[in-house]
Amino acid sequence: MKNDNSMAWMLVLPALILLCIVGVVPLLAVFNYSFFDIFTLQDRFWVGLEWYGDLVGTPELYHALGRSVLFTCVILAVQFPLGIAIALLLPQQTYTSSFFLIVLAVPLVVPWNMIPIIWLNLINPDYGLIGYGIKAIGWDFDYKFNALHTWILIVLMDTWHWVGLVAILAYSGLSSIPQAYLQAAAIDSASKWQVFRFIQLPKIKGVLMMGLLLRVMDSLMIYTEAFTINAGGPEGATSFLSLELGEEIGGFDYGPAAARSVLYFLLVLVVAWIFQLSLRRQNEKEA
Amino acid sequence: MMNVLRLIGLFGVLVFILGPLVQSFLLSLIVTFPHEGFVKGDWTLLNYRNVFRDPELLASLGNSLIYVSLNVVLTLLVALPAAYAVSRYRFVGDKHLLLLLLAFRITPPVVLSLPIFLLFAKLNLLNTPVGIAVVHCLFNVPVAIWILSSFINAVPRAFDETAFLDGHSRMGFFVKLLIPAIVPGIGVSCFFCFIFSWVEVVFARILTSTGGKPVTMAIQNLFGFQTDIGLVMAMTVISLLPGLALIYFVRNHISKGFQLRG
């Protein structure tokens, strides 16, 4: 690799300027608001760290964080094994696999605010396809008032939405494995599990990292879909981090909302940093 | 035996992914709302006709197409040189830059929605597709840089050096040689920019409160005291078409180009 600082920075500059406008400047503004009690933007009072104190000092924040982390763990535990399994099912480089890649990508292009609507329609006991099924087996499914059922619905919906991304990424890793590796394994009469464990899994680790990062953050901060399903209910059982923030902004509590935003951004930064470290370690191991 | 299991598995995937959409598609073909001369519950193309008769829905399709295309162009313009730098050079601060990219990609839009609204009000970018196009760069530029740089990594370094020896300027090399060499990567970047931008709701809502609404918000507006769910589903089905077309074009490349550098 060459060292050529000025040239490299020249090339990066346009992207950096754009990101400053849409990222850095708004972040600084949020940081600034978080120290004020804001009635209108002209009419505001310095309150120092009061909002931060309120946030950190009450248990609600930790409960919401706990719910979000649990949700993320469930999502990862469901979507990664499932996505990898789907990728392993697909035949390599044929019309069938192209067809399935297209099918898997379809939920990704559905507008996010329509995804909960589609699912609420599906489980509607009067005309939903799944609703009929639930009624037929006599299951007392109540996503409005039963917390477990709300969770099942949101996890199912999120899996439908995103498992395709995991599968596509895993498939892309699998198709980069040279045939010779698999032939050598066949000669050594390796079992399916051994092939997966020692050849396929190491090869798809890199792309899965990207999927992991996207899924961790998007599920940790899930907003639109979860809110439309049950507005955080029943009794706050699905009130995740972003939902609480959305509520504050909706209620025009800009000061506390800004303080919360700053905390969330710090959380994002920590996750990104941990992720970068592990990525670098992995790359060094390969090099 | 193995093949039977595989077929069952693939069939299961098909049902799980497409099943939920089947109902939406069916609803879009049924009269679900009292319209003159139609019986509720009948099969019809009325909902689709109504979409094309509603100037607001048509305008929203236009708005969405405009902002997504603008966003893709803008993203590629800034991401291409940056991806080249990330792929070919080690420079002071490159690790911080990558961390910043990661952080911005995963920052939830809700966190920035309020200051973005105020900033864009000052810049006169409210209620226009341009505003959405710019703000979506927040998460699309990082994604595009990752994808493009992994495609550039696959181009051997000698390719650049030969071109410079042959007397190509840097600009000439970029346009005439490098870009044609990574066309699949550009396609894949477009696809991912599209899927994160077309479907985004939080920024789109806050930036278009009174006009310039994109498809997502136009659909949202159809909900009210009495909702014509057939019309909603028809609009949803139409909103899938551009995405499906794009998936079709990049289907053979979609599975390449995701190696991250830390």
Please return the burial class of A188, using the count of CB atoms within 10 Å of its CB with bins 0-12, 13-18 and 19+: exposed
List all residues 6 or more positions away from A220 whose beta carbon is below 8 Å from its beta carbon: A68, A69, A71, A72, A240, A241, A271
Has residue A163 got a pLDDT over 90? yes
State chain B's mean pLDDT as an integer. 84
CA distance A198 to chain B (A): 19
CA distance A6 to chain B (A): 8
Residues in chain A: 287
Window from A248-252, B165-169, B181-185 with minimum mean pLDDT? A248-252
CA distance A126 to chain B (A): 13
CA-closest candidate to residue A166, choices B11, B189, A174, B133: A174
Has residue A76 got a pLDDT over 90? yes
Q: What is the pLDDT, as a whole number, of residue A79?
A: 94
Higher pLDDT, B225 or B219: B219
ipTM over 0.95: no
Q: pTM (2 decimals)?
A: 0.86
**Cβ within 8 Å, pair A283-B236:** no
Tokens (6 digits) for B96: 């911080």
Which chain A residues are closer than 8 Å to B216 by Cβ? 111-114
Number of Cβ within 10 Å of residue B12's Cβ equals 12
Pairing between β-strand B89-90 and β-strand A44-46 as defined by DSSP bridges? unpaired
Between CA A160 and CA A162, with CA A161 as vertex, the angle to 5 degrees is 100
**Cβ within 8 Å, pair B100-A19:** yes
By Cβ distance, the residue of B88, B119, B239 closest to A111 is B239
By Cβ distance, the residue of A206, A264, A281 closest to B111 is A264
Rounded-to-integer distance, Cα A131 and Cα A149, Å = 13
> Quick check: is A15 in a domain?
no
Taking only the tens place, the pLDDT of each residue in A123-160 is 887 778 888 888 888 777 777 777 788 888 899 999 99
Q: What is the pLDDT, as a whole number, of residue B191?
A: 84
Quick one: closest CA in B to A286, which residue? Answer: B261
Rounded-to-integer distance, Cα B58 and Cα A9, Å = 43
φ and ψ of A3, to 5 deg:
-105, 115
Taking only the tens place, the pLDDT of each residue in A204-228 is 887 788 788 888 888 888 877 777 7
B interface test, pick of A99, A100, A218, A276 with most B CB neighbours within 10 Å: A276
pLDDT band at B261 (very low <50, low <70, confident <90, very high): very low
By Cβ distance, the residue of B89, B134, B216 closest to A1 is B89
Superfamily (CATH H level) for B55-261 = MetI-like (1.10.3720.10)
Question: If you average pLDDT over residues A192-212, what whole number do you get?
Answer: 83
- Residue at A46: amino acid letter: W
**Cβ within 8 Å, pair A8-B91:** yes
Instruction: List chain B domain ranges.
Output: 55-261
Tokens (6 digits) for B69: 């295309």
pLDDT band at A77 (very low <50, low <70, confident <90, very high): very high
pLDDT band at A78 (very low <50, low <70, confident <90, very high): very high
**Cβ within 8 Å, pair B236-A18:** no
CA distance A146 to chain B (A): 23
By Cβ distance, the residue of B91, B105, B261 closest to A5 is B91
Rounded-to-integer distance, Cα A19 and Cα B107, Å = 12
Between CA B177 and CA B181, with CA B180 as vertex, the angle to 5 degrees is 80
Which chain A residues are closer than 8 Å to B238 by Cβ? none
Q: What is the pLDDT, as a whole number, of residue A157?
A: 92
Question: If you average pLDDT over residues B197-224, what whole number do you get?
Answer: 84
> Quick check: is A5 in a domain?
no
Share of chain A above pLDDT 70, in %: 96
Rounded-to-integer distance, Cα B166 and Cα B153, Å = 21
> Quick check: is A241 in a domain?
yes
Q: What is the pLDDT, as a whole number, of residue B258?
A: 52
Taking only the tens place, the pLDDT of each residue in A86-108 is 988 888 767 788 888 888 888 98
> Quick check: is A1 in a domain?
no
Window from A243-247, B48-52, B161-165 with minimum mean pLDDT? A243-247
Q: What is the pLDDT, as a whole number, of residue B1?
A: 61
**Cβ within 8 Å, pair A19-B111:** no
Tokens (6 digits) for A140: 């007392």
> Quick check: is A45 in a domain?
no
> Quick check: is A21 in a domain?
no
By Cβ distance, the residue of B232, B251, B259 closest to A102 is B251
> Quick check: is A175 in a domain?
yes
Q: What is the pLDDT, as a whole number, of residue B262?
A: 43
Has residue B250 got a pLDDT over 80? no
Q: What is the pLDDT, as a whole number, of residue A75?
A: 92
Question: If you average pLDDT over residues B28-45, what whole number do you get?
Answer: 77
Q: What is the pLDDT, as a whole number, of residue A123?
A: 85
Q: Label residue A48 left, alpha or beta by phi (over 0 means left) and psi (-120 to 50 means alpha).
A: left
Question: If you average pLDDT over residues A274-280, what whole number do you get?
Answer: 84
CATH number of the domain to which A200 belongs? 1.10.3720.10
CA-closest candidate to residue A266, choices A63, A52, A107: A52
Taking only the tens place, the pLDDT of each residue in B90-99 is 888 888 888 8
> Quick check: is A109 in a domain?
yes
Rounded-to-integer distance, Cα B151 and Cα B186, Å = 9
pLDDT band at A2 (very low <50, low <70, confident <90, very high): low
Q: What is the pLDDT, as a whole number, of residue A278?
A: 84
Interface check for B96 against chain A (CB to CB < 8 A): the answer is: no
Taking only the tens place, the pLDDT of each residue in B103-158 is 888 888 888 888 888 888 888 888 888 889 999 999 899 989 988 888 888 888 88
CA distances from B226 to A35, A144, B34, B181 (A): 43, 21, 10, 53
- Tally of domains in chain A: 1
CA distance A33 to chain B (A): 9
CA-closest candidate to residue B28, choices A118, A134, A113, A156: A118
User: Residue A108 carries which DSSP code?
Assistant: G
